[in-house]
Amino acid sequence: MITAGGLLSGHAHFLHWGVVQISLANLLVIVMMAVLFLLAVIIPFPHAQHSAVEQEQADDH
Amino acid sequence: MTTNQPDPRSWTVRLRTRLARTVPAGQLLPDRQPAYVRSWIYVFGVASLAAFVYVIASGLVLSLKGSAWWHTSSAGHFVNSTHLWSVELFFMFMVIHLWGKFFMAAWRGRRALTWITGAVAFIGSVGTAFTGYLSQSNFDSQWTAGQAKDGLNAVGIGSVFNVLNTGQMLLWHVMLLPLVLGVLIVLHIVLVRRHGVVPPFDAIPPDRDHAEVTGPPGADDALSPEPVAPVLR
């Protein structure tokens, strides 16, 4: 049977900061969400500028 | 005397009129959107919807085949895993969409109910996912239920929501909560169609009163007949 391998397979790895503890997998998911959110805000949407110009031209007519 | 005029007392006529006023035909499936809709934040909203559809579809397959299938067969393992990972993606996409809408203050302009239905759908999704962990029928679900019971008893809901009652948790997971969640999501989309997405902060023309765009205080009746037109610069 094929099983998942690597850092996230098997027993969970937990990170501890004082009273805070979180599994490595959960931390990675949260970091991934934050990175995706930043990219969603920073990366311009394809053709957004082009469409805005078209919209302005259509509104002018 | 006969007449072709619809009887305004008829409940079907009143319901039809109400539906037509709530979401006019042109707003239900529009072919044009304001320029500011071209944003990745809305892509994540639609991605959440796509993930939800897959969650429901894979859940239906798991319901049809049963726990022995998803525990013992390769196909069952696969569908069970895709059910889990589509839920993970559903939450990830939904949270990014929620963060984006929060920083856009998406409740402006009579859109409070749109925001509320989205937020409540998020909270409902947490409960639905939780009952999913309890419905795996393995040692993980037993451990999760054992850990959760004390917390839920401490807040006083253990008598009506008993996490040690596997049958109750399974029915909440496969019937009650998906139904509630589905209704909330449909309502959320209808409200988005009804009011349009929120304009950017700088889309308010300087010659217009702010209250004219954001709506007067207390005017958050999202199903009110007057649509709020998006304002473009």
Q: Is residue A23 part of a domain?
A: yes
Cβ atoms of B122 and B98 within 8 Å: the answer is: yes
Total domain count, chain B: 1
B124 closest CA partner among B160, B58, B173: B173
Q: Is residue B110 part of a domain?
A: yes
* Amino acid at the residue B153: N
pTM, rounded to two decimals: 0.80
Q: Is residue B114 part of a domain?
A: yes
Q: Is residue A58 part of a domain?
A: no
Reading the block at residue A14, the tokens are 């937990």
Of A29, A41, A52, the CB nearest to B92: A29
* pLDDT in 10s for each residue of chain B, 233 residues: 556 788 888 999 999 888 888 888 777 778 888 888 889 999 999 999 999 999 999 999 999 999 999 999 999 999 999 999 999 999 999 999 999 999 999 999 889 999 999 999 999 999 999 999 999 999 999 999 999 999 999 999 999 999 999 999 999 999 999 999 999 999 999 999 888 899 988 876 555 555 555 554 444 444 444 444 444 43
Which domain, by its residues, includes A23? 11-44
Of A36, A47, A55, the CB nearest to B232: A55
Give the position of tokens 């007057």. Answer: B226
Cβ atoms of B69 and B76 within 8 Å: the answer is: yes
Q: Is residue B45 part of a domain?
A: yes
Cβ atoms of A50 and B45 within 8 Å: the answer is: no
Residues of chain A with a CB closer than 8 angstroms to some CB in chain B: 1, 29, 32-33, 36-37, 39-41, 43, 45, 47-48, 51-52, 55, 59
Distance from C-alpha of B114 to C-alpha of B192, rounded to nearest angstrom: 7
Residue of B nearest to A54 (CA): B35
**For position B44, which CATH number holds?**
1.20.810.10
Which domain, by its residues, includes B129? 36-201
Instruction: Report angle CA B95, B196, B179 to the nearest 5 degrees.
Output: 55
Distance from C-alpha of B105 to C-alpha of B100, rounded to nearest angstrom: 9
B174 closest CA partner among B101, B112, B113, B83: B83
User: Which 3 state secondary structure label does DSSP give B144?
Assistant: helix
Q: Is residue B217 part of a domain?
A: no
What are the b/e assignments for B104-142, b being 16+ CB within 10 Å?
Answer: bebbbbbbbbbbbbbbebbebbebbbbbbbbbbeeeebe
CB pairs under 8 A between A and B: 39
Total domain count, chain A: 1
User: Which 3 state secondary structure label does DSSP give A4?
Assistant: coil
Which secondary structure element, helix H or strand E, spans residue B188, and what is its range? helix B177-195
Give how far the C-alpha of residue B55 lies from the chain's centroid of Cα atoms, to the nearest Å: 13
Distance from C-alpha of B124 to C-alpha of B175, rounded to nearest angstrom: 13
Query: CA of B189, closest CA in chain A: separation in Å?
Result: 21
**Cβ <8 Å between B40 and A59:** no
